[in-house]
């Protein structure tokens, strides 16, 4: 699998998948409507089965994108250098942009 898409908005997921496929980015997309489901998937995945790209929504119920990033810390060594994480958000808050730099997947 090349891409993991984590977003609770079904329309957003549909549009993102369609765009990625139309642009020949990949046909191998796994989508999850919750961060918990995606975390379970990643926790059970073998290193060779980890995605190359994760598109992550920050604003989700139960476990938001920030909590998901915190939960990934134990697998950080496996993901760094292999997996790139991109944030999907409608937030215009500057503190979100500053906060994202606390994580090693996002350069300062």
Residue 90: CB atoms within 10 A of its CB come to 9
Of residues 73 and 35, the one with the higher pLDDT is 35
Could you report the per-residue pLDDT of 30-64, keeping only the tens digit for each?
A: 999 999 999 999 999 888 889 999 999 999 999 99
The answer to whether 74 and 26 have CB atoms below 8 angstroms apart is: no
pLDDT at 1: 58
Task: Assess whether pLDDT exceeds 90 at residue 91.
Answer: no
Q: Which of 67, 57, 46, 68 is nearest to 11 (CA)?
A: 57
Task: Assess whether pLDDT exceeds 60 at residue 74.
Answer: yes
Of residues 1 and 15, the one with the higher pLDDT is 15
Q: Which of 52, 48, 30, 27 is nearest to 40 (CA)?
A: 30
Q: Give the position of tokens 């059970």.
A: 44
Of residues 108 and 98, the one with the higher pLDDT is 98
pTM: 0.88
Q: Quickly name the fold that domain 3-84 has.
A: Rossmann fold (3.40.50)
Q: CA 20 to CA 81: how far, in whole Å?
A: 22
């Amino acid at each position: 699998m090349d891409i993991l898409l984590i977003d609770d908005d079904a329309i957003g997921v549909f549009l993102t998948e369609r765009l990625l496929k139309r642009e020949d980015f990949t046909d191998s997309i796994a989508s999850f409507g919750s961060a918990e489901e995606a975390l379970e998937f990643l926790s059970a995945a073998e290193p060779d089965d980890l995605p190359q790209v994760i598109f992550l929504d920050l604003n989700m119920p139960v476990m938001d994108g920030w909590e998901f990033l915190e939960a990934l810390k134990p697998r950080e060594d496996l993901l760094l250098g292999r997996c790139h994480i991109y944030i999907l958000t409608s937030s215009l808050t500057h503190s979100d942009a500053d906060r994202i730099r606390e994580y090693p997947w996002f350069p300062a």
